[in-house]
Amino acid sequence: MKKVISTLIKTVLVVGIAYGLFLFARGFYTVKRPVEIKEINPKVMNLKKFFTGFNRPARVEVIDLTEKFKADVDEIKKMKIPLDEKADFYIRIQFFTDETDESAPLVAQIRFIDIKSENLLKEESINLD
Q: pLDDT tens digits for 68-94? A: 888 888 888 888 888 888 999 999 999
Confidence at residue 36, expressed as pLDDT on a 0 to 100 scale: 65
Helices 42-51 and 70-77, packing angle to 10 deg: 40
Q: Please give the model's pTM, rounded to 2 decimal places.
A: 0.66
Q: How far, CA to CA in Å, does 92 sit from each of 6, 9, 61, 62, 102?
A: 64, 59, 5, 6, 26
* Helical segments of the chain, H only: 2-29, 42-51, 70-77
Instruction: Tell me the per-residue pLDDT of 97-126, one tens digit each, with 9 for 90 and over.
Output: 988 888 889 899 999 999 999 999 999 999
